[in-house]
Amino acid sequence: NIETALSKILQISQEEWTRNGGSSGLDKITKTYEYVNTLLEKDEINFYLDSQPKYECDSNGNCHKVNYKWRDLTGLSENNAIGNQWMSAIHVNDRDRVYNAWENFLHRQYPFEESYRIVNLVESKVLHVKGRAKALKNDKGIDLIVGTFEVLETKKYEQDRSVAQEQ
C-alpha cells in the first residue's frame, strides 16, 4: 500500500545518506527516483493516488486494497476494508441489494453497476453513489476486480440517535 511505499522511499533515502556520510544528495535522490519509477511501472502509485475512489479485489471478490480517495469517501481505513469489510460502508438499507448484485457479478458475470448510499460516519454524511466494478482478466481467467464510485449526491447526516442506530 501507499504507506509501505512511502516507508520504503524514506528507508532508501536514509540508507543512502548513511552510506555516503551525507555527502551524496544526488545518490539519495537517484535511488529514490528509481524506486518511484519502479512503482509507477507497476501502476501501484497510480492506483493509490488516482482521484477516482477505487478498490481492488481478488477473483473471489475479497478486497485487498483501496486508494486514498475511497478512504476519504467512506471514512474507512484500508485495514477496515479488507475482505468483505468494505461493504460495511454501505447504508444498512442498501446492503442486501448491493451484496446480491455483487454475488451475481462474481458468480454469474452480470455487470455490477449499482446506485446506493455510503455512510461516512467520520464526517457524518450519507453519499449517494453509483458503484461500478469490472473484472480484469489474464490468460488464466479473472485476475482481479477494480471497483469505482461516482458520487451522485451528498446529504448531511441527522445527528440524532435514530439515524446512528440505523447503522
Helix axes 25-42, 2-19, angle to 10 degrees: 160
* 117 backbone dihedrals φ, ψ, rounded to 5°: -110, 140
- In three-state secondary structure terms, 60 is coil
**Mean pLDDT by 10-residue block, N- to C-terminus, for the chain (167 residues)?**
65 63 63 67 60 82 86 88 91 94 88 90 87 76 70 59 44
Is pTM, for the whole model, over 0.75? Answer: no
In whole angstroms, give the CA distance from residue 16 to residue 14. 5
Q: Which residues contact 167 (CB under 8 A, 6 or more apart)?
A: 92, 119, 121
In whole angstroms, give the CA distance from residue 5 to residue 39. 8
User: Measured over all CA atoms, what is the biggest interatomic distance in the chain, rounded to whole angstroms?
Assistant: 62
In whole angstroms, give the CA distance from residue 123 to residue 94. 20
Cβ–Cβ under 8 Å, residues 57 and 145:
yes
The pLDDT value given to residue 96 = 96
The pLDDT value given to residue 138 = 64
The pLDDT value given to residue 72 = 86
What is the identity of the amino acid at 34? E
